[in-house]
Amino acid sequence: MNFDDICDNLSSFNVSNDENVGIKEYRIGMYKVKTPKQDQDTRRALLLERQKSYKVKTLASMRMKAMDSPPQSPGINPIETLWFYMKNQLKKDGKHIEIYAQWVDEVTRICARQEKTALLRQIEADTSFDDDERVNPYKNQLMLSEWLKQKPVDFEDRWVFKCVPVGQRTLVVAQKGRTCSYTKSGYRTDIFPSLLPGGNSSSKGAYTVLDGIWVDEASTFYILDIICFNSHAVVDSETEFRFFWGDSKFREDLTEIDVPGQRNMYAFKWLPNYPCTPEGFNSAGILDTPSSPSLDGILFYHKECHYSPGVTPLVGWVKPDKLQVFLRPQATKR
């Protein structure tokens, strides 16, 4: 076939000048649509609104964390079974928080009657359980921070900070006459007696859950936050109240807990909080010695933040060597 024959064959085809809209949309749809991420201030505002709309009771979760033996299968205890299912479903769809309140009411009823319901039988048959979470209820229970990229708009009025020493983030659980410490991943690092409510033989009926830093060189737990104290859960309380209550408990009720002894193997110390004002930073003394080897960083807490497991924009983290730059006045955008 010569060139003239090829041209004759091609001349029989008609090419439309109209744009094929369907093909164009299909090709555009093959590209990922990258939406800009919301800034931290926007996400904080949304989270605060969600807290106000869906303030639910979580005492059942604290009871489960303070139990002596974590569940090994979904059929061992109906309360534990329901709690783990709740957590698993909330991970999948955080929008349905109103269902969470319904499940908490179900837990309360089961606690009183200890019976299996149709809901529990359905849950036990569900195959969407996270086996790792079901076996270890202490995993991923600490509230973690985001890098604080810039000063929030309400920084001086609605934020407080704590100076965090170099150490290991730890979940402390005192119950049934003993105290256990756990890493962020839920690994138990120690069992010992303490003067915390529930942590020694004289207070077996109570339980306490704390968030802190273990400093091995000082054999001391430095407490950042209070999750549950003497069987009273405060996870749905604001930061301002939790810090005030924790500070008062350590100063008034636990006056000897900072001294190691036979009933208190390690020292516990409450980390003070300061307002995010020039006076607060001067009181903390971190502007003069930002490069102290014992200082790991600064945690900033929004005053209205509830205690919730996982990373939250309502808690921010700044390294000491970046503090001066972080506190500089920011240029306003025109």
* Rounded Cα distance, 294 and 332, in Å: 35
Tokens at residue 181, please? 């410490």
Q: DSSP for 271-317?
A: PP-EESSHHHHHHHTTTT-TT-TTEEEEEEEETTPPP-SEEEEEEEE
Quote the pLDDT of residue 36. 43
Chain segment 164-219, per-residue pLDDT in tens: 999 999 999 999 899 999 999 999 999 999 999 999 988 888 889 999 999 999 99
Q: Are 269 and 220 in contact (CB under 8 A)?
A: yes
Q: What number of other Cβ atoms are within 10 A of residue 88's Cβ? A: 16
**Reported pTM:** 0.67
Q: DSSP for 198-239?
A: TSSGGGTT-EEEEEEEEETTTTEEEEEEEEEETTEE-TTS-H
Q: Which residues of 130-140 are buried (b: 16+ CB within 10 A; e: fewer)?
A: eeeebebbbbb
Q: DSSP letter at 320?
A: G
Which residues of the chain are under the pLDDT cut of 50? 18-36, 56-59, 62, 67-79, 94-98, 100, 127, 129, 131-133, 332-334
Quote the pLDDT of residue 329. 74
Quote the pLDDT of residue 178. 93
Q: Which of 307, 197, 294, 179 is nearest to 243 (CA)?
A: 307
Q: Which of 98, 97, 100, 63 is nearest to 79 (CA)?
A: 63
Q: Which of 190, 214, 210, 186 is nearest to 198 (CA)?
A: 210
Note every long-range contact of 56-60, with CB atoms under 8 Å and residues 24 or more positions apart, other chains counting.
56/97, 56/100, 56/101, 56/104, 56/236, 57/101, 57/104, 57/108, 57/236, 58/104, 58/233, 58/235, 58/236, 59/233, 60/104, 60/107, 60/108, 60/111
Chain segment 284-301, per-residue pLDDT in tens: 988 776 556 789 999 999
Q: Are 165 and 213 in contact (CB under 8 A)?
A: yes
* Residue entry with tokens 């000063």: 151
Quote the pLDDT of residue 45. 77
Quote the pLDDT of residue 107. 57
